[in-house]
């Protein structure tokens, strides 16, 4: 029976992966799932991670734990973003290797690519230029995660894989007004404007940047698709020093278009304005998803439906949303 450790299972992506694996178990698949909360196991603590991996000796590890946040959180806490993510990656990947874990999947991010890269962004654009300054420390840690996996594979023959998600959203997201990503931030801001009868909602930046959004249930499906690929298929579609796989929906919208969609879903009919003193960040980040498509996976949940479902989830979880 396969024993899988899912790190970050109380987060948005880890939670969606956990639900998907539990559904597979309910359908009869023999799996043992291991989880630890942040309070039970701090993944920045090398000795604690070593003891945990040695005690549990999982067959597979899914690295979905990370220090995560939107553009403002990344700019405000750069030290936390680079330190915690590097520590988590080093500890989990090295201690997984030391405990004999054969297969591991780590989640990176689309911000690994240079700021001025041709769009859509192909995997081979990695390390070809200067990074976006608002999230450079986080991006450097995520690039290190890819290179850790590749280096252990090359030196030790492990089967450690990386997926690079575009901007994600969905049930279990972080709705913090300042530290979250744009989509949950706008759901909360427009919802509260409707509740409070506020006439105007202010959007950060100019509204012109383009972002690609992928529903977290699609991300969970893509993650398990990549994790489950036979080793020869993964290796045939990647290269030892270019092994990461983009995951996205293949289309993007401007932040202004997104704001209008969120206004509609929440029933806001007032004025939308833009605060151009706030950063835009990268002007466009669209993933080239042909590598994953060639292996047989494409996304299925459109932004309109995904947004409506996420707003319903937000309404149903008013008392236990993270903020
Ligand atoms: N959300 C997005 O738009 C995107 C996410 N990603 C990547 O996907 C992955 C999952 O992100 P997402 O689910 O959105 O993030 P969340 O913030 O929702 O979840 C991250 C989880 O990691 C846990 N965690 C953080 N630090 C530690 C630690 N030191 N020890 C143990 N657990 C820890 C958190 O626990 P706690 O809350 O208790 O700290 C939380 O449960 C990350 O690698 C992220 O970089 C990539 C691109 C876009
Ligand atoms: C996934 C990705 O997420 C981060 O990068 P980002 O794509 O810039 O993410 P974001 O969701 O925070 O912003 C997207 C756009 O939206 C605009 N925007 C408007 N109004 C709000 C707003 O209210 N909140 C936020 N956060 N942004 C807003 C904002 O100004 C920007 O133009 C990385 O740091 C890194 O973590 C990473 O990998």
Token pair in block for residue 3? 């024993």
pLDDT at 322 over 70: no
The pLDDT of residue 269? 98
pLDDT tens for residues 125-165? 999 999 999 999 999 999 999 999 999 999 999 999 999 99
- 134 CA to middle of ligand 2, Å? 10
pLDDT at 266 over 90: yes
Residue 319 within a domain: no
From the list 77, 83, 113, 138, the catalytic residue is 138
Mean pLDDT to the nearest integer, 267-295: 97
Nearest atom in ligand 1 to the alpha carbon of residue 10 is 41
Nearest atom in ligand 1 to the alpha carbon of residue 39 is 38
Residue 184 within a domain: no
pLDDT tens for residues 220-263? 999 999 999 999 999 999 999 999 999 999 999 999 999 999 99
- 278 CA to middle of ligand 2, Å? 11
* Domain CATH number, residue 149: 3.40.50.720
Is 237:292 a contact under the CB 8 Å cutoff? Answer: no
301 lines ligand 2 (CB under 6 A): no
- 8 CA to middle of ligand 1, Å? 6
Q: State the ipTM, two decimals.
A: 0.98
Cis peptide bond upstream of 120, omega within 30: yes
Residue 86 within a domain: yes
**What are residue 106's DSSP bridge partners?**
63, 162
The pLDDT of residue 26? 98
42 lines ligand 2 (CB under 6 A): no
Residue 149 within a domain: yes
Residue 22 within a domain: yes
- Reported as a pLDDT band with limits 50, 70 and 90, residue 106 is very high
174 lines ligand 1 (CB under 6 A): yes
The pLDDT of residue 318? 87
pLDDT tens for residues 176-210? 999 999 999 999 999 999 999 999 999 999 999 99
Write out the residue range of the structural domain in which residue 297 sits: 2-171+213-251+285-301
Token pair 């993270």 is found at: 322
User: What b-and-e string marks burial along 190-199, b requiring 16 or more CB atoms within 10 Å of the CB?
Assistant: bbebeeeeee
Mean pLDDT to the nearest integer, 9-32: 98
Tally of structural domains, the chain: 1
Query: Has 3 been labeled as part of a binding site?
Result: no
Residue 194 within a domain: no
Q: Is the pTM of this model over 0.95?
A: yes
pLDDT tens for residues 84-101? 999 999 999 999 999 999
Query: Is 169 a known active-site residue?
Result: no
Residue 204 within a domain: no
Residue 147 within a domain: yes
The pLDDT of residue 323? 59
The pLDDT of residue 321? 78
Query: Has 147 been labeled as part of a binding site?
Result: no
Residue 111's nearest CA partner among 73, 154, 148 is 73
From the CA of 222, the nearest ligand is 1
pLDDT tens for residues 24-72? 999 999 999 999 999 999 999 999 999 999 999 999 999 999 999 999 9
- Measured by CA distance, the residue closest to atom 32 of ligand 2 is 280
Nearest atom in ligand 1 to the alpha carbon of residue 142 is 45
Query: Has 13 been labeled as part of a binding site?
Result: yes
């Amino acid at each position: 029976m396969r024993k899988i450790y899912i790190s970050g299972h109380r987060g948005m992506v880890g939670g969606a992966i956990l639900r998907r694996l539990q559904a597979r178990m309910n359908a009869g698949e023999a799996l043992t799932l291991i989880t630890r909360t942040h309070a039970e196991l701090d993944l920045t603590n090398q000795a604690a991670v070593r003891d945990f991996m040695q005690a549990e000796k999982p067959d597979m590890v899914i690295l979905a734990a990370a220090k995560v946040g939107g553009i403002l959180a990344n700019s405000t806490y750069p030290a936390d973003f680079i330190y915690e993510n590097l520590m988590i990656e080093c500890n989990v990947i090295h201690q997984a290797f030391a405990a004999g874990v054969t297969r591991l999947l780590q989640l990176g991010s689309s911000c690994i690519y240079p700021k001025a890269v041709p769009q859509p962004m192909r995997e081979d654009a990695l390390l070809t230029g200067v990074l976006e300054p608002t999230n450079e420390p986080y991006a450097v840690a995520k690039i290190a995660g890819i290179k850790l996996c590749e280096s252990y594979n090359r030196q030790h023959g492990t089967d450690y894989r990386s997926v690079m998600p575009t901007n994600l959203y969905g049930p279990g997201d972080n709705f913090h007004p300042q530290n979250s990503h744009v989509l949950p931030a706008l759901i909360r801001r427009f919802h509260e404007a409707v509740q409070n009868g506020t006439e105007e909602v202010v959007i950060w930046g100019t509204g012109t940047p383009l972002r690609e959004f992928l529903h977290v249930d699609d991300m969970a499906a893509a993650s398990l698709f990549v994790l489950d690929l036979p080793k020869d298929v993964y290796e045939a579609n990647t290269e030892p020093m270019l092994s990461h796989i983009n995951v996205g929906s293949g289309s993007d919208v401007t932040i202004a278009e997104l704001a209008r969609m969120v206004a509609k879903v929440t029933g806001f009919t007032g004025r939308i304005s833009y605060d151009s003193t706030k950063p835009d960040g990268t002007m466009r980040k669209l993933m080239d998803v042909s590598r994953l498509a060639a292996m047989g996976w494409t996304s299925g949940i459109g932004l309109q439906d995904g947004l409506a479902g996420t707003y319903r989830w937000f309404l149903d979880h008013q008392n236990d949303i993270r903020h």
